[in-house]
DNA sequence: CCATAATAGAGAAAATTTTATTGATAATGA
DNA sequence: TCATTATCAATAAAATTTTCTCTATTATGG
């Protein structure tokens, strides 16, 4: 029994798994029983071999010429991703992004249930947003500890994020989903997952204008700029 | 003459550049003149060598023992990321996520100005959200074409996303920032950037529970003959 | 029953990205 | 001045991730 303790599934794989899960649920809805990597690859425009490797990481097995049993894959994905049982989470920052996240009902199907929100603003405290109570930030640490909350979501302005993170860690929170554009400093054993929209935006806009400004290395100050008004001729 | 036409800067690099930019602006605010990769690495907890490579991609050069001229790096980053001139964008889906994005004022410092929002809901049309007009979706394509809009943001429910994307492409939009949890099918020359929170969440929760469930995967003895009667699909 | 074709599985190869190594350069201080 | 040291730059190595190749398996159709 060479049980390799854990072999660190690559992050790119982790991020593809929900795509598979979503598509497979669609297939289940139309009563498909089997699915092949070819099917998935065609739908998601991914290499079938890569999908096969990803599913191998998850631990599901298929049969030649048939593919995978649909129910097995869905089941395996949910087990692997920890979506079988729901974890309670606290959200801090009842602003517009926080409110948006509080409204994401599907999170509960993905193992995440936001049970309460916290804020400093007295006009928000005591209200409900999408059915979730907004509590004063001062109660965060104590409540997190008493309720054994493991996941915290930060949607406060950048300047306040570190302070909130400290409160979360003090309350025993083990994973932080951080929407504030700052790098948090936390104890080693705490997982921080940054959702930095500015970083995403950078990737997008750079790709959009890549062909126009690409030849820019070195300090030549100016590359030829054909101008945005004249795209691919 | 090593004019490499364009050498495809890796996506991981692209996503780190805004982190540098942010920190460097902080340094500028306190009137620093020079910065070394060591400085940046210490702040962001990244390998200085990696930062040096990233900055090389951007095209800025430094001097031994001194580091980089702060203004040069900031300037170089902004030029490279296309943040020097602002691009107008349309947002479709004036729900809670859409509203949140409409409120992100800092986007304009990153080359993105959302100039209008679109929706189907008559109760939203005609209103303003964070100072941006909400227009009927039916006007999207025509307006996008007339205003030469290149960037579209999708914050509608999954089911409506493909339709919106089609309208955007018809209006000449070249890059789509997609917050809906679906894979969009668009013409090849259109860039789609998916901001799939469920995929992020998967990475987070799997990491959090990795040590607990890790020993499960891997080959569960070759299923020689699963003996499953296989009704054809 | 056999030939064919679709597909999983395993491992090798290739590509990409990160990390390490080495040498050159220039500021600092003795 | 000269040794020392911090740093960039370039290259090499390592690690990671993707893609390819090949084999074995098993429905399907003749």
Residue pair B17/B77 in contact (Cβ under 8 Å)? The answer is yes
pLDDT digits (tens, 9 = 90+) for B105-116: 999 999 999 999
Any alpha helices (H) in chain B, and if so which ranges? 11-29, 37-44, 48-58, 70-81, 96-102, 140-147, 158-170, 197-213
pLDDT(B32) > 50: yes
Report mean pLDDT in 10-residue bins for chain A, 233 residues: 62 96 97 96 96 96 96 96 94 97 96 97 98 98 98 97 98 97 94 96 88 40 30 30
Helix (H) or strand (E) holding A92: strand A87-92
- Note the CA–C1' distance, A47 to C15, in angstroms: 15
Distance between CA atoms of B197 and A136, rounded to whole angstroms? 26
Q: Is the CB of B219 under 7 A from strand C?
A: yes
Mapped onto helix, strand or coil, the DSSP state of residue B68 is strand
Backbone angles phi, psi at A117, to 5 degrees: -115, 155
Mapped onto helix, strand or coil, the DSSP state of residue A34 is strand
Report pLDDT for B219.
32
What is the arithmetic mean of pLDDT over B165-182?
Answer: 97
First to last CA, chain B: 60
Report pLDDT for A209.
83
Nearest nucleotide from residue B56 CA, by C1' atom: D9
- Note the CA–C1' distance, A126 to C14, in angstroms: 58
What is the arithmetic mean of pLDDT over B88-108?
Answer: 97
Report pLDDT for B158.
96
Distance between CA atoms of A202 and A96, rounded to whole angstroms? 22
The minimum CA-CA distance between A140 and chain B, rounded to whole Å, is 20
Report pLDDT for B22.
97
Tell me how far CA of residue B59 lies from CA of A197, B9, B75, B213, in angstroms: 24, 11, 11, 45
Distance between CA atoms of B152 and A123, rounded to whole angstroms? 34
Q: Is the CB of A185 under 7 A from strand C?
A: no
Neighbours of A146 (CB within 10 A): 11
The minimum CA-CA distance between B5 and chain A, rounded to whole Å, is 6
- Note the CA–C1' distance, B37 to C7, in angstroms: 49
State how beta strands B132-136 and B128-129 pair: antiparallel
- Cβ neighbors of A188 (< 8 A, separation 6 or more) are none
Residue pair B197/B181 in contact (Cβ under 8 Å)? The answer is yes
Any alpha helices (H) in A119-215, and if so which ranges? 140-147, 158-170, 197-213
Confidence of residue B42 (pLDDT cuts 50, 70, 90): very high
The minimum CA-CA distance between A28 and chain B, rounded to whole Å, is 12
Q: Note whether B183 contacts A19, CB cutoff 8 Å.
A: yes
Distance between CA atoms of B180 and B84, rounded to whole angstroms? 28
Candidates B217, B226, B229, B231, partner chain A, best to mutate (most A CBs within 10 A): B217
User: Which residues in chain A are closer than 8 Å to B203, comparing Cβ atoms?
Assistant: 11, 14-15, 193
- Give B177's strand partners: B153, B193
Q: Note whether A196 contacts B107, CB cutoff 8 Å.
A: no
Candidates A197, A215, A224, partner chain B, best to mutate (most B CBs within 10 A): A197
Report pLDDT for A211.
56
Q: What is the pTM of this model?
A: 0.89
- Note the CA–C1' distance, A137 to C5, in angstroms: 63
Who among B4, B99, B208 is closest to A174 (CB)?
Answer: B208
User: Which residues in chain B are closer than 8 Å to A26, comparing Cβ atoms?
Assistant: none
Residue pair B6/A214 in contact (Cβ under 8 Å)? The answer is yes
Distance between CA atoms of B136 and B92, rounded to whole angstroms? 10
Residue pair B64/B54 in contact (Cβ under 8 Å)? The answer is no
Residue pair B83/B20 in contact (Cβ under 8 Å)? The answer is no
Distance between CA atoms of B155 and A182, rounded to whole angstroms? 24
CA-closest candidate to residue B19, choices A201, A207, A95: A201
The per-residue pLDDT of chain B, averaged, comes to 89
| Low-confidence winner among A213-217, B23-27, B100-104, B106-110 (lowest mean pLDDT) | A213-217
């Amino acid at each position: 029994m060479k049980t390799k303790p854990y072999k660190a599934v690559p992050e790119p794989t982790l991020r593809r798994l929900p795509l598979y899960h979503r598509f497979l649920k669609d297939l289940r809805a139309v009563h498909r029983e089997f699915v092949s990597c070819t099917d998935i690859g065609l739908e998601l425009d991914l290499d079938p071999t890569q999908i096969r490797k990803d599913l191998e990481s998850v631990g599901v097995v298929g049969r030649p010429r048939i593919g995978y049993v649909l129910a097995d894959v869905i089941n395996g994905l949910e087990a692997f991703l920890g979506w079988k049982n729901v974890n309670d989470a606290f959200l801090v920052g009842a602003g517009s992004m926080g409110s948006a996240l509080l409204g994401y009902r599907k999170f509960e199907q993905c193992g995440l249930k936001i049970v309460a929100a916290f804020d400093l603003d007295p006009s928000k405290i005591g209200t409900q947003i999408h059915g979730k109570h907004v509590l004063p930030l001062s109660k965060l640490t104590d409540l997190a500890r008493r309720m054994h909350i493991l996941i915290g979501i930060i949607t406060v302005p950048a300047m306040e994020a570190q302070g909130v993170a400290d409160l979360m860690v003090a309350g025993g929170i083990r994973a932080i989903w951080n929407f504030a554009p700052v790098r948090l400093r936390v104890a080693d054993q705490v997982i921080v997952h940054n959702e930095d929209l500015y970083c995403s935006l950078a990737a997008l806009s750079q790709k959009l204008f890549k062909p126009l400004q690409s030849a820019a290395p070195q300090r030549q100050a100016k590359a030829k700029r054909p101008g945005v008004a004249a795209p691919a001729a």
